[in-house]
Structure 1
């Protein structure tokens, strides 16, 4: 067993992202998956943005100091996941192929962006821009 923490940074206000992050599981032997809402942790968001990554366009997985973004993050999660439960087996089946993850992730991201628009949710980077505009 290991105490290694693997961070999954995502937008908790997106129902689809939140559902995925709540249900995905990784094998205990890999480490502990820690969910981080990018809206509530500006220091983590700043680190991601400094690396040129846009949290509104993809979730981020941080493991061993390395950042994995978007399709790479979901692909790695699939490889790290346990195979117990229907969701985790489906997740592995869909995203264990880097090529398939690269094809499906942009489609899922577009659906996410549409869902946020329908729900009237502000994108995270828009919030950051609004804060900067006030000063």
Structure 2
């Protein structure tokens, strides 16, 4: 990973998550955003699993070696995002506050879980599968 690379690990099979991650734009001065599908085995998923982070409970942002999870990730994304475009401005205004991010993120996670159920998709379950570690 280069110093200017920003990693976002999320569930690509969730249409809402995927659309959000495709639309969010970070400022060029911050670096280049690299999206990582949490449904594919990767070093990044192994790292967050080793840290005990459940990807079904929140997306993960890695910026300058720092890991942001769930509401902290969406808050950090809002702060480093570009303000160009309606959705990026909306993202900034909704999630620039750590408190609002903390309040809204569980609702977004709940809606993701409902959407996955309606679409017949399983959760990622990166921490355990039938009581065994995935990796």
Fold match (TM-score > 0.5):
yes
Q: Is 2:56 the counterpart of 1:61?
A: no
Q: 1:3, 1:32 within 8 Å by CA — same for their partners in 2? A: no
TM-score by length of 1: 0.91
Q: Extract unaligned runs of 5+ from structure 2.
A: none
Instruction: Return the alpha-carbon distance in structure 2 between the equivalents of residues 16 and 127 of structure 1.
Output: 23
Instruction: Return the alpha-carbon distance in structure 1 between the equivalents of residues 59 and 37 of structure 2.
Output: 10
Structure number with higher helix proportion: 1
Moved more, 37-46 or 27-36: 37-46
SS in 2 for 1:56: coil
CA apart distance, 1:3 = 6.1
- 5 Å-filtered alignment, 1:72-91, equals 72-91=72-91
For residue 27 of structure 1, what is the aligned residue in structure 2? Answer: 27
Q: 2:49, 2:127 within 8 Å by CA — same for their partners in 1? A: no
Q: 1:26, 1:80 within 8 Å by CA — same for their partners in 2? A: yes
SS in 1 for 2:28: coil
Moved more, 35-44 or 79-88: 35-44
TM-score by length of 2: 0.91
Q: Extract unaligned runs of 5+ from structure 1.
A: none
For residues 9-51 of structure 1, what are the alpha-carbon distances to aligned partners after superposition, in whole Å with 9 as ceiling and x for unaligned?
Answer: 0000000000000000000000000000011134322211111
For residue 36 of structure 1, what is the aligned residue in structure 2? Answer: 36
Report the RMSD for the aligned CA atoms in angstroms: 2.1
For residue 104 of structure 1, what is the aligned residue in structure 2? Answer: 104
CA apart distance, 1:72 = 0.3
Moved over 6 A (4+): none
SS in 2 for 1:129: coil
